């Protein structure tokens, strides 16, 4: 496993190759809402992050954890996401571990 992909709120990790996370975000967003069928990968990725998804890239892990969604509610890691990040932490390079640390800090 290359540990690049998208981590859903239910803790499912959908793996992809480097630089394919935008295409994957588009596929997932289109399944969740037909309104994203003609949107760019960046817009779809932002939409998923507002739903609590975490993007795991080659060099970092990011999301909107600790920020507000469109309804003014703070986005938190789910227990399943927290467990996945903790279980896989030692498999990440140091720069990716730092971004996981940041997400966990923002989650408190």
Find out whether 63 and 54 touch, Cβ atoms under 8 Å: yes
The pLDDT value given to residue 101: 95
- The tokens for 97 are 């571990």
Q: What per-residue confidence (pLDDT) applies to 82?
A: 94
pLDDT of residue 2: 80
The secondary element (H helix, E strand) that includes residue 56 is strand 54-56
- State the pLDDT at residue 59: 87
Q: What is the pLDDT of residue 69?
A: 87
Instruction: For 45-95, write each residue's pLDDT tens digit.
Output: 999 999 999 999 988 999 999 999 889 999 999 999 999 999 999 999 998
- Give me the percent of the chain exceeding a pLDDT of 90: 82
């Amino acid at each position: 496993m290359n540990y690049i992909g998208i981590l859903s709120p239910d803790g499912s990790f959908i793996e992809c190759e480097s630089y394919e996370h935008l295409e994957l975000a588009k596929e997932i967003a289109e399944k969740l809402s037909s309104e994203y069928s003609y949107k760019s990968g960046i817009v779809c990725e932002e939409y998923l992050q507002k739903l609590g998804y975490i993007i795991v890239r080659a060099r970092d892990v990011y999301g909107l954890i600790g920020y507000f969604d469109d309804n003014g509610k703070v986005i938190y890691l789910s227990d399943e996401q927290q467990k996945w990040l903790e279980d896989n932490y030692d498999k990440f390079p140091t720069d990716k571990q730092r971004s996981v640390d940041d997400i966990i800090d923002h989650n408190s």
